[in-house]
Amino acid sequence: MSGALRIVLYEGPGAVPLAEEERFQTMAALLNGGFEVARTRVVDAAAQLVLGKFENGGPALPAAAQRRDISGLEPAQVVESARETRDQAGARKLEAWKPWFPVIDYDRCTNCMQCLTFCLFDVYGVDQQQKITVQNESNCKTDCPACSRVCPEVAILFPKYKNGPINGDVVKQEDVQREAMKVDISALLGGDLYGSLRSRQADARKRFSTERDESKALLERKRCLKELGKQLDIPDEVLMSLPSAEDISERAERAKAKLAQRQARSQTVKDTRPAPSDKEWGI
Amino acid sequence: MSETPRIVYCNCTYAKVVPPEVKGEVLRRLCASGAEFEAVADLCDLSARNDPALKRLAGGGPVKIAACFPRAVKWLFHAAQAPLPKEGVEILNMRERSADDVSRALLGGAP
């Protein structure tokens, strides 16, 4: 994967320093445009675009770097110039995706796999050492921190979440106790999550059969989902995209089987078979 | 003689979790100072993309990072296979600390 374009705002020998306000406005515009930029007096070998108000030929540049004199340019024009260079250089483009994904605190993680079992969107996987890892960041549903709530060790962070300790704030003893209470989803929902959804669906089916009132059932589903969303702080969008109860049940069984398989393998010290591939795990 | 720490500033461009007045003021003071620094649009984005820039930022000696919670920053780097060194790293939390405080810490008391 190509990296982001490396921009250097050069103010060393061979360039006139920018005025303070101009420097701030230019830096802010580039950052808000999603660019990485270094203010330096030396052009390093990694520079790809060197911006500055050059004089006397400016500094020597690495072979791959481009120079752009920004004298007289407004910040927006500097950003446009950076975009052109980025496209020419084939550097990574910005995407609309808000970088929302779980980050694992391995100082706390016990590799219990609850997150892998819980997540409906295949965000988690295991590495060659059978250690839990985040494999598909972009599958994560924006603003949904649900998996962090089932982690018994408060080991899953969402740095852009509003509250601690999910946002990375220090984990306090009361956080651990609170999360421990939630480990058993039963305590939260009066049954395990999947069971709860299945039961609610079964109830809805009963009503269908006796009352044939679809609108009432839909209202019930919406009410339950809203309640669930409120308790776990799950966005509506995620709740509405939940698979059917059957799908969830099948997935849970599959995950349990994989975990049992993993545990059986790890308990056999003589087992010299190679670790299963991602395909074998089905993740 | 000890090495002068590098300065890394995260703009948290893709979310509003860092108070804009804090991050804006910190950037303004960095720009007003004579200091050289690296500014990134969003550390989360770099981490999610495994951007090689994180390896460069994590390597190269002592560093002060103005971003968010230290635990989050530490594991964001780790997630991108660019772990921060155990020594010589100071993470300044712009979500909780004031612009004055962060700027002073970044610029060694001379913002």
Residue pLDDT, tens place only, B39-94: 999 999 999 999 999 999 999 899 999 999 999 999 999 999 999 999 999 999 99
- Residue A219 above 90 pLDDT? no
The verdict on A20 touching B (C-beta cutoff 8 Å) is yes
- Report chain A residues whose CB lies below 8 A from the CB of B30: 39
pLDDT attached to residue A46:
87
Which residue bears the tokens 């603003």? A143
Residues of A in contact with B11 (CB under 8 A): 28, 31-32
Q: Is the pLDDT of residue A51 over 50?
A: yes
Q: Residue A90 pLDDT > 90, yes or no? A: no
- Whether A12 shows a pLDDT value over 60: the answer reads yes
pLDDT value of position A200? 55
A33-42, A78-87, A257-266: lowest mean pLDDT where?
Answer: A257-266
A169 phi, psi to nearest 5 deg: -60, 160
Cα nearest neighbour of A161 on chain B: B17
Please tell me if residue B4 touches chain A, with a CB cutoff of 8 Å.
no
pLDDT band per the 50, 70, 90 thresholds, residue A222: low
- Residue A32: pLDDT band (50, 70, 90) is very high
The ipTM, to two decimals, is 0.95
Q: Which run of H or E residues covers position A82? A: helix A75-89
Domain ranges for chain B: 6-107
| Neighbour-count burial of A179, counting CB atoms closer than 10 A to its CB (0-12 exposed, 13-18 middle, 19+ buried) | buried
> CA-to-CA distance for A33 and A86, rounded, in angstroms?
12
Q: A68-82, A98-112, B2-16 — which is least confidently predicted? A: B2-16
Distance CA B69, CA B10 (A): 12
Length of chain A as a residue count: 283
Which B residues, 29 through 88, put their C-beta within 8 Å of a C-beta on chain A?
A: 30-32, 35-53, 56, 68-73, 75-76, 78-79
pLDDT recorded at residue A242: 62
Predicted pLDDT of residue B110: 46
pLDDT in tens, A183-217: 544 444 444 555 555 665 566 555 444 444 545 54
**Residue B111: its pLDDT value, please?**
41
pLDDT value at residue A57: 84
- DSSP, collapsed to helix, strand or coil, labels residue A159 as coil
Q: Do B41 and A23 touch (CB under 8 A)?
A: no
Confirm if A24 and A42 have CB atoms less than 8 A apart.
Answer: no
What's CA A96's distance to the chain center, in Å?
Answer: 13
Which run of H or of E encompasses A6? strand A6-10
Tokens standing for A95? 């995407």
